[in-house]
Chains A and B, each alone.
Chain A
Amino acid sequence: MDDRVAGALDLLPGYAAQHVVLSMSALALGVAISLPLAVVASRRPRLRFAALAVASLVQTIPGLALLALFYPLLLALSALTTRAFGFGVPALGFLPSLLALTIYSMLPILRNGVTALLGVDPAYIEAADGVGMTPRQRLFRVELPLAAPVIMAGIRTAAVWTIGMATLSTAVGQTSLGNFIFSGLQTENWIYVLTGCIAVVILALFVDQVLGLIEAGAVRRDGRRIAIGFAALLLGTAVAAAALLRGGGADYVIGAKNFSEQYILAGLMAERIERGGHTATSKEGLGSAVIFRALAGNDIDAYVDYSGTLWTNVMERRDVPPRDVMLAELTRFMRERYGVTVLGALGFENAYALAMRSGRAAELGVRTIADLTPLAPRLTLGSDLEFLSRPEWTALKQAYGLAFGQEKSFNPTFMYRAIEDGQVDVISAFSSDGRLAGGALVVLEDVKHAIPSYDAVILLAPKRANDEVLRRALAPLIGAISVETMRQANFMLDRDTDKASLREAVQFLAGKLNLPPP
């Protein structure tokens, strides 16, 4: 079997279990909130209007944004509870995902519930009153049973939405089938993406069918179908939860942002920890700001960040000191402000840089960015989607007086195509990008040090500051990885054809470093 397929299947049970527990919890919570709300709203026009308006509004918020919004919200809440009760709530992972998915699942249940209850034939309401039912008896014996098919249809819709949207919870640190999709997309590993998609579709179809069985049971008053349906749901969730309880609780959690290099480094760190006789998992696909908070909050134990990113985003500094001064100040700041340990630099930088085709650079006599200044008006700059709006570009423009004749933005893959076939002359690049390996492209030196250095550094969570296992496993990596080695490892995942699996890239890097076992 293809190694990538094997790798995907290896991860599938764990991801699926997390996905099932998350989406089923959210659905159950959504039903528990929305159904009573629908009942009350069906009797009070003003509340009905308000509840439906809010639920519809929530629905228009993109799913990813909704998940992201819960993160600062829970951070604030955590600060509050810490002050009041001495403990915080987790702002990452399960809790924000659960809350966002629950809210997201509410609209179809609420809307169908209200519609169904309002749609019950008034003749049956009068009959229920006429035979002497109390309002509560009327609700449970007549209105809800008659509304059940439409309500169940709403729950089915909510279930499919929730299972689909749960893939996005990967971005806030909750493992799900979305891990396949996020990491597959970043490393262009379509087998991963496909595995994630297929698994989600199968899960959604299965749950939909089971809910359909319950719906049919409700319509035909067939208790057996209802029982089988609920049993299937409960059993599935229980099996998933049991799998998590048994397999969960790795000794160490390594974080990774959402690009190849991060996946490889997290994999390498996890492998080092495991070789030392401990278990490690990784939380992948975390955003830049999220991942640092997660570390500072002890949600993850270690990850690799870049000095320049921390310098500007966390320390909010705008000056650009020399590399070693920056590293020293960063280390001190992290320890004093956050209790975070900067274990050390890995030895390479992943900085924003400008690059040209080697031939073209030689032809124009360009070696440094300063050499570009007089030529720029006749040249075209290609950049990724982000670069032109980043402070690094502003700093470069100012320092060197760069004014390109034309500026074009591409997604990274197309940007590299564009420079290969000469559509653009200069591109923005990351210095450790695998596509710079091999010598076809040359990185232009930032002689004026206009942009800060982006040394890859290992950060340890406050509670791991004196953790001997972690230090023994990770310390040998300090200063061990050259930019050329990192580029080669990255290229294994980023090249357009003959992609390697993540495991292969990790093995390659580990082999290259030839480190002693911890």
Chain B
Amino acid sequence: MGAVKNLLRGFIYTAIYAVTTIIIPLVTFSWLFQMTVQGFPLDFEQQEYQNILFWVTAFGLVICGCAFFSHSSPKQSIRKAVFALIQVIVNCLYIWSYRFSGATDVQFTIVGYGFFSLDVQQMVLIYMGIYFLTIVIKMYDIIDFTVNREKIRENRMKA
């Protein structure tokens, strides 16, 4: 029964991550490339549209796999902590892949009017700093779960 419950939880979280890390970005980018402002089409100057889609999908898949592993593991287990850490690290790669693809410094041209650019690189830097703190917390979790392993398992068996 426990295994079924764990797997169900894993599948639910995988679905959530699939939507947030793959489907929503893909739909957003597709919509962005077809957007028009007051009837004028946006000429997206980034030629690496395919590149963005590729890395979003690639890292999204790995994040979904790690999310399944992490969320289907028992609470306070070492394997949960390890895969949560891996997931955070892959998440960093995922976010930075947007920058690498040019998505953090995008220039839009509105035909007949000019252009505007969107530079969120500084925001991504701050986000990365916060992610570092998350990595530290996840590492602490691994140490905590390893040191108190016997105690955690005893409590889990009693429950």
Q: Is the A/B pair a real complex?
A: no
